[in-house]
Structure 1
């Protein structure tokens, strides 16, 4: 304690724990000292500690439960952000972004030598079309001007993507309804910051990849969970959320969902569209994996965008990052022309439009026929890796967990049979040199793990599951 400071003592205590949480020294779920214990250790009145903990609770940093004490918050579902809050105030003010410390720690573990990485949602080096792209680049001629790009994307590129969407996804999108983005992350950023206001309530699948994105919190949005089962989102729950919280938009990843790998059934897709159309709730559909059906699996249902009548209330996001390479950064939003133009204005302020050179590469990749051959090879490789992971899980984890069998995409969702605090899980992962992403990162309740079978070579998958089993035995 700084006894000479003009800052009240309770604020010094609260600020200390805020810094510990934001820096990752205290992870979600970690216990704080009891009020009595801390007052004795600091030699101060217990009411001062009580005031500090009350301040931390009001800011959303901690939660207190009778009989369990005070712990670092594990979730912000439904919490109301501070008025006018943005990302800069989170950094400068140290406000809590849920699970950020966990994500950072897992990434550090994944970067360590000899770690088996199941935490990253990207392809391993041997699955990237490096040779094919190198050959295409030797044929590249720059027909587009090299000045700042059209903020929506050059007309020729949008025409190519329009044809690609119609042929592969049965999505009818005029070039004027397409906005090129630097992957799905930028698309989400544009939607949350341009079409919504601080304090707006939005629905996310629970669990959801989008929950881990700090951009939702930086936009000041209130996040509400839309429950799921093995068949995906339960449409009727959207009505309950709308009636209770007046949600203004929902965000869904209905095909080979990240993180659970589930696929929303055709009947539920139709029902979801019906309910949202009746209540005029816009849907943001993220569709990066639907061409990655594994061998032997039935093709997934058409996208919500393709199924919707007119499609005007579905904003559709896609990317080449999951089928080609993360560094491609080729993404797009399909939206009514006026909405696409509004988002393009904001994008121009951010980066003056998508790189014209990358647009040329995107055009060449989609029109050369190379991508179809690569996609077929990729589906075969992902099928083998998924099967290797399933076999290893059965052999080494047994009854310690249960899991869903994915029919496409990158991810396998694993539910543990007992709760394990994230801090302990991360510590043992580091010791055993294996990296997985805890389910709490995606807003899941209980103990669960997202395992990616796309990142590691096939011959490393069993070793990684063996290490994960050792982690769970220790815990």
Structure 2
């Protein structure tokens, strides 16, 4: 449908003579503004997204946007992108609420712009995802999962709500699985969550007061930072060495703290995200002793624990904990399928009951279908069989990735060989403009995760993942990345 376009935003005296694709872009954008989808202040999609939508190159898109910018319909805001201008022109649009005021009032903080870009670009098949936290979909156990779905389909009688702590069959299966790993857990101490990340959200909402201190490794899982910050919790970053969290730094902070009884430690002790490091058994015991001495609860994130290459990770903090100090978070999002959206928390029964009640207020329970599928996958033995093969493949990919890094980055960066998980933490020896590196890498077809999204102090690092690419894909991507890095160093 042809729209009436105000004279002041036309780039040609006779609209009928305008280049057709330009007019198509303009009509689409004006339609968004006129309908209220894009009120004043709305940030436009990235130029990459719009160019892809209209199947044009960037220069064509820029030429189409130029008259809108000159007429004051759009306004460029540097690194913040381009927005619909709040000018006299916008008064001609339908009157609507000031959504920008509402959007800045919510308690969830906005992602960093680079994180928002990564979240979008990860779905661009033209890019090699060199920093992603997702397993290669080609490693998904299709046959075993298909058989599991058939088993579940034959047994399903309904798909109603389940009880507050989650499906009893799944909690029983998880308790049995934990016993095989020398951790005695009762089903009544397990809460099923919609992914491990929801466990952090439940803890933040149900156990911690605003202003509480959360001690974290520096760097750490980016989404945990977002959850804690949005809950108005105070983050205290602790340095790491090659063996993981520095206990000396933690004790120094605890000695000086006046916040006892209102603080907690969040840690990823096994195959750490993003550094790939693993805390030794000896240091785990020392950590538990230290936290007991200062009465500090621990949130243990075990998302990558099962992916230790030799199949024998150090004992979890939870399994070494004699007094119920550790809240353990587990998940199959990294080992099997993030789309199942199933995680779990192991904690003292009163904590599980409290957070189960909070969860019922939030979403009234995780997917009953996903819970049935995972319960069957666990009890059938297919999960453990699949993990054996997955660990071997990840080890093969890790070894090949380290070899590729030695070939192209030996003179520019340092890294540590992980014992499991997904990640290699690459740190450049010279300072680089990381925002420019990110953009140039994308232009070269490589999507990276800059270190500063995990910590403001790690601006010269990258989280590299060997889990989503074949060794050959990884080698080609890091070779291309090295070309970009050398161009910036020069």
Bucket of the pairwise TM-score, normalised by the shorter protein: 0.7 to 0.9
1:425 to 1:249, Cα distance in 2 relative to 1, 3 A: same
Per-residue deviation at 1:356? 1.8
Other-structure match for 1:283? 298
In 2, the alpha carbon distance for the partners of 1:20 and 1:272 equals 48
* Structural mapping, 1:430-449, within 5 Å: 430-443=442-455, 444-449=457-462
* Structural mapping, 1:123-142, within 5 Å: 123-140=135-152, 141-142=154-155
Other-structure match for 1:388? 400
Given that 2:397 and 2:471 are in contact with CA atoms closer than 8 Å, whether structure 1 keeps it comes out as: yes
Bigger mean CA offset, 263-272 vs 243-252: 243-252
Q: Give the secondary structure class of the aligned counterpart of 2:117.
A: helix
Partner deviation per Cα, 1:297-336 (whole Å, 9 max, x = no partner): 58321010101113x1100110112111111222100011
Other-structure match for 1:249? 264
Per-residue deviation at 1:212? 5.6
- Is 1:420 the equivalent of 2:435? no
Given that 1:412 and 1:452 are in contact with CA atoms closer than 8 Å, whether structure 2 keeps it comes out as: yes
1:89 to 1:186, Cα distance in 2 relative to 1, 3 A: farther
Given that 1:203 and 1:223 are in contact with CA atoms closer than 8 Å, whether structure 2 keeps it comes out as: yes
Other-structure match for 2:174? 161
In 2, the alpha carbon distance for the partners of 1:298 and 1:268 equals 20
| 2:379 corresponds to which of 357, 362, 367 | 367
Other-structure match for 2:241? 229
Partner deviation per Cα, 1:17-67 (whole Å, 9 max, x = no partner): xx8999999xxxxxxxxxxxxxxxxxxxxxxxxxxxxxxxxxxxxxxxxxx
In 2, the alpha carbon distance for the partners of 1:290 and 1:123 equals 15
Q: Give the secondary structure class of the aligned counterpart of 1:291.
A: helix
| Number of aligned residues | 392
- Is 1:334 the equivalent of 2:349? no
1:99 to 1:198, Cα distance in 2 relative to 1, 3 A: same
Q: Give the secondary structure class of the aligned counterpart of 1:153.
A: coil
Partner deviation per Cα, 1:199-230 (whole Å, 9 max, x = no partner): 11110001100566421111000100111101
Other-structure match for 1:29? none
Other-structure match for 2:31? none
| 1:292 corresponds to which of 304, 307, 329 | 307
Given that 1:90 and 1:96 are in contact with CA atoms closer than 8 Å, whether structure 2 keeps it comes out as: no
C-alpha RMSD over aligned residues: 2.6
Per-residue deviation at 1:354? 1.8
Per-residue deviation at 1:422? 2.9
| 2:283 corresponds to which of 268, 280, 295 | 268
Greater RCO (Cα-Cα under 8 Å, separation 6 or more): 1
| 2:219 corresponds to which of 201, 204, 207 | 207
Other-structure match for 2:128? 116
Output the TM-score relative to the length of structure 1.
0.78
| 2:316 corresponds to which of 275, 299, 303 | 303
Per-residue deviation at 1:473? 0.9
Structure 1: any 5+ residue segments left out of the alignment? 1-18, 26-87
- Is 1:409 the equivalent of 2:421? yes
Per-residue deviation at 1:94? 8.8
Given that 2:108 and 2:230 are in contact with CA atoms closer than 8 Å, whether structure 1 keeps it comes out as: no
Structure 2: any 5+ residue segments left out of the alignment? 1-40, 48-99
In 2, the alpha carbon distance for the partners of 1:20 and 1:143 equals 46
Other-structure match for 1:323? 335
1:360 to 1:99, Cα distance in 2 relative to 1, 3 A: closer
* Structural mapping, 1:51-70, within 5 Å: none
